[in-house]
Amino acid sequence: MNNDLSTLVKCNFPPYGQDFDGGVPTGRFCNGKVPSDLIAEELALKDIVPAYLDPTLTPEDLITGVTFASGGAGFDPLTAKLVSVISLSEQLNYFKEYIWKLTALVGEDRKNFILAKSLFFVVAGSDDIANTYFVLRAPRKLQYDVPAYTDLMELYDLGARRIGIFSAPPIGCVPSQRTLAGGAERECAEEYNQAARLFNKKLNSVSNSLRTSLPDGRFVYIDVYNPLLQLIQDPPKYVLLIGNPEAIDIEVPGNETFPAVIIFGDSIVDTGNNNNNLNTPARCNFPPYGRDFQGGIPTGRFSNGKVPSDFIVEQLGVKEVLPAYLDPSLQPQDLLTGVSFASGGSGYDPLTPTLQSVASLSDQLLQFREYKEKLKAILGEEGTKSILAKSLFVVVAGSNDIANTFFNTRIRQMLHYDIATYTDFIVNSASAFIKQLHELEARKIGVLNAPPIGCMPSSRIMAAGGTAAAKGQECLENYNEAAQLFNSKLYVELDLLNNRLYHAKVVYLDVYTPLLDLVKNHDKYGFEVVDRGCCGTGTVEVSILCNEFDMGTCTNVVRFKGIHKVGKSIEKKRKEKKILFQNMITTVDAEVPNPESPKRQSKFPALIAFGDSILDTGNNNLRLTFTKANFPPYGRDFPGKRATGRFGNGKVFSDLLAGALGIKDTIPAYSDPLLPDSELATGVCFAAAGSGLDRLTSTIQNIRSIWDQVNQFETYIAKLERAVGAEQAKTIISGSIYLVSAGNNDLCIAYLIFLRWFLIGPTFYSSLLVRYTTNFIKEMYALGARKFAIMSTLPLGCLPSDRTMEGLLFLRPCIITTNLLASVFNSKLESEVNKLKTELAGVKIVYVDVYNPLLDIIQNPLKHGFVRASVGCCGTGLVEMGPFCNIFNPFTCWNTSTHVFWDSAHPSEKAYSIVVSQVKDHIAQQLSD
């Protein structure tokens, strides 16, 4: 709560938070979680309790609880005042505001229910005693019962019924008090502890009094003084200290390439995680599974012996086999060298594991979080980070999604998916999983594509209607084509992630091609039978259907059961399998991707944006200007719910176009001080909100004009040359798209508001702006730019702010004169763009009409899935933008998707997305070589 206060009592900086999730200092006065978090976690409400003033707070957070506590506050109003923090009375005011928001979110009845059933905790008194009374020697007596009583009664009057009141801790044993009053031996300061006990006695009395006088209120005094004192006086009884790994006889592996291998996915790499899951039939911890494994033991591997995860760790020299994370015999030493979280039957589609009651990829990530905590207990924070950064992460999924959820059960087809939309869906799920894995500190990630699913015996028998005709049947082309479609989309997505995820290497690993070759040329690899498995009849047997009672199981393994591939025990095949995994491992075992040689599926190496707030992704954040948006509720629908400086609820036009063209998901601001060089090769944004072609426009707001942006572009070229070399930089500069949005602010601000119209007529001014545009294009052309996408203005007369300025508060039609002014400029701009195509050698320029698509959305909101088009979502939606669109405005809508506009001048992400979908193909076609 204190992070943004003008007080010294704050801790939103290292080393605070070093043991918090991600090692982030959050403002908690601790190395990790604090009691409020631990209580919520213990009660299974949520992992952590957010601060009410946290700018990333979501409506969902309000429903499950927040903290109003402010470090340095107390029951005594003077305590908070002395250190400029939030007093209890001010916290109660915030609580009243919270009640209002909660009511707006869930309604009056539900709000009353939540307040009556929720747990309220009050923790105060320590700072009163330690600081206000003892340290500052303020004229206070130890009579805290009266203000405490008043605050608690007000909390009750506001609807709270279950209230826990924490005692003061043994304040005299806090290190700071020992320093002040503990003497040379640093003993607990008894005077302080005596005061705490006296306070606690009175506080307990207050609690009893309230409980008696308010029968429907549950006031509980919670003694933390005595448990903490016992812990302080006898620490060995409560704390296990592990100084280093050797203390418990564990050694960090010496393998220098990959210290560990960590695997997620399905049965191809599952080494026994389903064994104790009695809710699923997808188990294989019984014979004849494992008959060629060490000791002939069925371990839960879907094979006669080892599975690919084992071969990978063996090939790397990490260990002989990879254990399952859920193996009850797992040892601490196993954690250091890696485990498998994979679960047979799982997939990227959440429906796939649900059908078989196995662990989804989300469940596997939760297990991985738990694994990280276990690693930290052994190696500490730094040791854990070091191992994870160097480890190999492998993801294997997609086969079950396509074969089972789409084809065999046809469930997704019944939900109106065709193979094109379904493969889009699971590729998006794969991308989301890898991003989450990266957030959890994975840096070297190999992702296997789908195998030739149509060649699996089980697929062949399903296509043959369950008859014996499947024997000898060719591979199913529709299944294989689906796998290939998925693989091609996965390749593109992984290539984008490889260039987008910071300090990461994400690699597409092709198993489809070598496995298809193995099936079609089985003789070359020493196999005899490829159209059925070894277990049983080899047509449908998998899991419980493949068992020791089936008399048809082969004696010489060539291909084991209906789905899973295994090897003969002959040396030739073993070498072939090693070659396959060696190639995969070599691909992943590389450093962070080099921007000198990015592999892209996009026709354009980069998108570079100039202009105004339609494209700005945060360039004004550090400027002394009111025209900025790096605070909530801006960015509330952006990834991570961060206010990045974009004038919208989420992504803006430049981000969405870059994503639609396959370049990258978001375009970073060039002025971002944390901009990594790896982003330069794929494009940046120079656009500054409030800017325009007329220098007056930007001067008024103290922001960079489009001409200043050109100067920045020259510095960008120099940086790019240093990052990728002069030749590669020249190729990127000439092949990139230069997206320009300008004119909106010139017409609205410089012309209409700051009276350019008084000196210049609209026809002349629009011609002047077009001339400025031509000059800009020629300057950029001289610097090497060749492909320009020049945007029209928005329908400016339909902006909520323009309607309001005309005094229209009710019917609020679009202002025809303002739209006419914009249309005149746009018409001249389009003509000039067409003229420049013939004047500048080698240039490609396209006029991008966003005026008409957005006007259609505004005039026909219901057709496009909107409800309101004349006001913005933020605040009243009439005038709010920039600093007037803030978290203190109680009128901001909860559901942005119903509004065409986010604030009074900027479209919502949803509206931008619709416009981008209509113009992207035209841009790509006109600017392609």
- Predicted confidence at residue 811, as pLDDT, reads 64
Who contacts 673 (Cβ-Cβ below 8 Å, separation ≥6)?
A: 622
The stretches of 257-356 forming alpha helices (DSSP H) are 308-316, 332-337, 351-356
- Predicted confidence at residue 183, as pLDDT, reads 73
Asked if 449 and 508 count as a contact pair (C-beta separation under 8 A), the reply is: yes
Of 69-78, 539-548, 619-628, minimum mean pLDDT range: 539-548
Report d(CA 694, CA 459) in Å as an integer.
66
Reply yes or no on whether the pLDDT at 788 is more than 80: yes
Report d(CA 411, CA 404) in Å as an integer.
9
- Predicted confidence at residue 296, as pLDDT, reads 85
| CA-CA-CA-CA dihedral for 689, 692, 695, 697, to nearest 10 | -60
Give the residue with greater pLDDT, 410 vs 211. 410
Give the residue with greater pLDDT, 239 vs 818. 818
CB burial readout 727-747, b (16+ within 10 A) else e: ebbeebbebbbbbbbbbbbbb
The residue among 379, 389, 273, 394 whose CA lies nearest residue 336 is 379
Asked if 342 and 309 count as a contact pair (C-beta separation under 8 A), the reply is: yes
CB burial readout 610-645, b (16+ within 10 A) else e: bbbbbbbbbbbbebebebbbbbbbbbbbbeebbbbb
Backbone angles phi, psi at 899, to 5 degrees: -110, 135
- Around 125, how many Cα atoms within 13 Å sit in the side-chain half-sphere? 32
How far is CA 218 from each of CA 20, 162, 213, 439, rounded to the nearest angstrom?
Answer: 33, 5, 11, 42
User: For 592-609, what is the mean pLDDT?
Assistant: 63
> How many C-beta atoms surround the C-beta of residue 827 within 10 A?
13
Report d(CA 419, CA 399) in Å as an integer.
14
- Predicted confidence at residue 598, as pLDDT, reads 38
Of 123-132, 440-449, 550-559, 665-674, minimum mean pLDDT range: 550-559
The residue among 644, 645, 612, 731 whose CA lies nearest residue 681 is 731
741-760: pLDDT as tens digits: 999 999 988 888 766 665 67
295-312: pLDDT as tens digits: 888 998 988 889 999 999
* One-character DSSP codes across 823-843: HHHHHHHHHHHHHHHHHSTT-
Q: pTM to 2 decimals? A: 0.43
- Predicted confidence at residue 206, as pLDDT, reads 82
Q: 313-316 contacts: CB < 8 A, separation 24 or more?
A: 313/261, 313/337, 313/338, 315/578, 315/581, 315/582, 315/585, 316/255, 316/257, 316/258, 316/261, 316/392, 316/585
671-725: pLDDT as tens digits: 998 888 889 999 999 999 999 999 889 898 899 999 999 999 999 999 999 999 9
Asked if 534 and 546 count as a contact pair (C-beta separation under 8 A), the reply is: no
The residue among 356, 369, 336, 371 whose CA lies nearest residue 266 is 356
The residue type of 447 is: V
878-902: pLDDT as tens digits: 888 999 999 888 889 988 888 999 9
Report d(CA 452, CA 483) in Å as an integer.
7
224-262: pLDDT as tens digits: 999 888 888 877 555 333 333 332 233 334 444 789 999
* One-character DSSP codes across 93-155: HHHHHHHHHHHHHH-HHHHHHHHHHSEEEE--SHHIIIIIIIIS--S--S--HHHHHHHHHHH
* One-character DSSP codes across 639-695: GGG---S-SSSS--HHHHHHHHTTS-S---BTT-TT--GGGGGG--B---TT--SSH
- Predicted confidence at residue 578, as pLDDT, reads 44
| CA-CA-CA-CA dihedral for 866, 869, 871, 873, to nearest 10 | 20
Give the residue with greater pLDDT, 399 vs 4. 399
User: For 838-847, what is the mean pLDDT?
Assistant: 94
Report d(CA 381, CA 370) in Å as an integer.
14
Work out the mean pLDDT of the chain and round it to a whole number. 84
Backbone angles phi, psi at 373, to 5 degrees: -65, -35
Reply yes or no on whether the pLDDT at 202 is more than 90: no
The residue behind tokens 């008409």 is: 852
Q: Tell me which DSSP letter residue 627 carries.
A: -
Asked if 133 and 84 count as a contact pair (C-beta separation under 8 A), the reply is: no
- Predicted confidence at residue 590, as pLDDT, reads 45
The β-bridge partners of 119 are 162
Strand runs labelled E in 734-863 = 737-741, 787-791, 844-848
Asked if 658 and 665 count as a contact pair (C-beta separation under 8 A), the reply is: yes
Give the residue with greater pLDDT, 863 vs 574. 863
Report d(CA 912, CA 914) in Å as an integer.
5
